[in-house]
Structure 1
Amino acid sequence: MAEPREHWLATPDGDICWFEWGTPSDGPSVLLLHATGFHARLWDQVVLHLPPGTHIIAPDLVGHGRSYRPATLVDWIANAAALLPLVDQFAGAPLVACGHSGGGYILTWLAAQRPGAFRHLLLIDPTIFDPDLYHPTGQPIPDPEDHPVARRRNAWDSADAMVARFAERLPYSAWQPAVLVDYCHYGLLPAPAGRGYELACPPALEASVYQGAQRTNPYGWLASLAVPTSIIRAKTGERDGPLDFSVSPTWPGLGELIRAVRDEQWSDHSHFIPMEAPQRLADLVADQI
């Protein structure tokens, strides 16, 4: 598939970058929402395996990629609401939407607000936790600098240097090599000082997303979600700390609660399903087009 076209969506707080492959038609369009800390071009290898001519939309979420950066991202609903104008722009065509991790959480909120815009949701190991893990409203927000992701390396000489450093290290060594290249080449921006590159999603900003992950309980809208939904979960197990993505964070009871039409575990994969199995995931998306 050809290179995507880059667009910008103006919002009161800043511009959101989004990418488009193909052109709208009478058939469904595909909306792809990436995970926390990543960017829209991590979907490139999934897009490559979708049927030729499919119309695809993939935004950089707020604070990610080339989209605008607020000071923090603890408010997950505000991050989701920023995408409503993009959903509305394509509401005339049924959307088959696929959201990974935090993108899956955001997708459920968008579908609750605009159920008529969606034909099918595919939630790929969404960060929707056990209901008992959500904090009461008003609880103090932890300092993002206290989260271990805030200490991620932020300065790089080049994308190739980033690829070389990660290629033999988990979890990246389990990814398809082309996905890792996309992650690094599109996930860096020129450093403001003029030398080298920095992560498009700064570590402290990414950490603030994690610090807000259990502040907004989604079960108020999930119980009434009306769009047909499929859930794909990674292997299960005990997490070994906040940066352990080898197992699924998704609450096992989610599928039954929302009456998912498909709820299955891909036990041979970690949380990073789109990076490890892009063709398998593309086939799943294509089944709904």
Structure 2
Amino acid sequence: MTTPRPAPVTRTYPVNGIDLAVHQWASDGAGVPLVFAHATGFHGRVWGALVDHFADHPAYGIDMRGHGLSRAAPIADWRVLASDVAEFLAQSGLSGVVGIGHSMGAHTLLQTAADHPEAFSRLVLFDPVILAPDYYGDGTPIFTADNPHPAIRRKRDFASAEAMIERFRARDPYDLFDARVFADYCRYGLVPAASGEGMELACPPEVEASVYASSRSNGAILDAARTVDIPVLVVRAQHTNLNDFKSSPTWPELANVLPQGTDLYRPDMTHFHPFQDPADAAKIIAEFIV
């Protein structure tokens, strides 16, 4: 049984033309700082249930560009996300930290580590969106303005966080989520609506759709991975097909191209492993960073 940590303090950092919001959980312990990067459509506060397992570690949950309180225009190139993270680390004086990423966030941390070898001492990557080499091709987007990703049709307006919770509680894949994670996802994934009435998604549907549309933009990620000479744990979930959000998108050979890569295959988990079972994810992290 973990004890909930006090609410984080949210600070903003001017990076690449936006104010990047970072939620910071303080600690009196001497543990290495933990930096968390979330998946597309999520936000930094969604890690709270997992952060509670690491009371001795200061922890930082980044609201990635266009998500949470880091308001920004749609994204055309995933490498700007890595630049954002590097700028935050530099401005906050952090180096040699443990990076923990999920999906798009895991991809971002690996690119950041390649660009800035001093940034991380270890990485734990839950189902990074890093696919086989042939996926990237010439970088041509899968989705376009004429054929946008279905995320662009997401409902954006809600009367309240409680209304969002009620709407999605029993829906796939949210019905898989730990109750605390799901509540945090809804409560901190909304901001006051521009109309002045009710709430709206902090990650607008057009931003979420743009992340999926630009998923081929960093075709050099596998070359970058070969240069990341620190211990990296790649945690892969069950794979069915790329049209299923619960399926692992991760290239099974990814750990083999990392100089110090370790592969952990968990077919009993979905792509949402850290939020499906945060206690299990915390155990994996704790064992790897000892």
| Residues 7, 25 of structure 2: 8 Å contact kept | yes
Residue from 135, 138, 161 that aligns with 2:137: 135
| Residues 106, 129 of structure 2: 8 Å contact kept | yes
| 1:68, distance to aligned residue in structure 2 (A) | 2.4
- CA–CA separation in structure 1 for the residues paired with 2:28 and 2:224: 29
| Structure 2: unaligned runs, 5 residues or longer | none
Q: Does 1:119 align with 2:141?
A: no
| Residues 95, 118 of structure 2: 8 Å contact kept | no
Alignment-derived partner of residue 104 in structure 2: 102
| Structure 1: unaligned runs, 5 residues or longer | none
Corresponding residue SS for 2:118: helix
1:27-79 Cα distance to aligned partner (Å, 9 max, x none)? 411010000110000001101122x2311111100100001212x21210112
Identity of aligned residues (%): 34
1:228-283 Cα distance to aligned partner (Å, 9 max, x none)? 100000112224x2xx2121000111111114442111111110011101011112
| Equivalences for residues 51-70 of structure 1 within 5 A | 52-70=55-73
Corresponding residue SS for 2:23: strand
Q: How many residues align?
A: 284
Q: Does 1:33 align with 2:45?
A: no
Residue 129 of structure 1 aligns with an amino acid whose one-letter code is L
| 1:24, distance to aligned residue in structure 2 (A) | 8.1
1:124-174 Cα distance to aligned partner (Å, 9 max, x none)? 000001110103157797228621110011111111111111111110001
Q: Larger relative contact order (C-alpha < 8 A, sep ≥ 6)? A: 1
Residue from 166, 172, 175 that aligns with 2:174: 172
- CA–CA separation in structure 2 for the residues paired with 1:97 and 1:83: 11
Q: Does 1:83 align with 2:89?
A: no
| 1:12, distance to aligned residue in structure 2 (A) | 4.3
Q: Report the more deviating stretch, 255-264 or 108-117.
A: 255-264
Q: Does 1:47 align with 2:51?
A: yes
| Equivalences for residues 179-218 of structure 1 within 5 A | 179-217=181-219, 218=221
Q: Does 1:152 align with 2:154?
A: yes
| Residues 144, 208 of structure 1: 8 Å contact kept | no
- CA–CA separation in structure 2 for the residues paired with 1:269 and 1:95: 27
- CA–CA separation in structure 1 for the residues paired with 2:113 and 2:50: 22
Residue 41 of structure 1 aligns with an amino acid whose one-letter code is R
RMSD value, Cα: 1.9
| 1:175, distance to aligned residue in structure 2 (A) | 0.7
Alignment-derived partner of residue 249 in structure 2: 249
> Would the alpha carbon gap of residues 144 and 109 (structure 1) be closer, same or farther in structure 2, given more than 3 Å must change?
farther
Normalising to structure 2: TM-score of the pair? 0.92
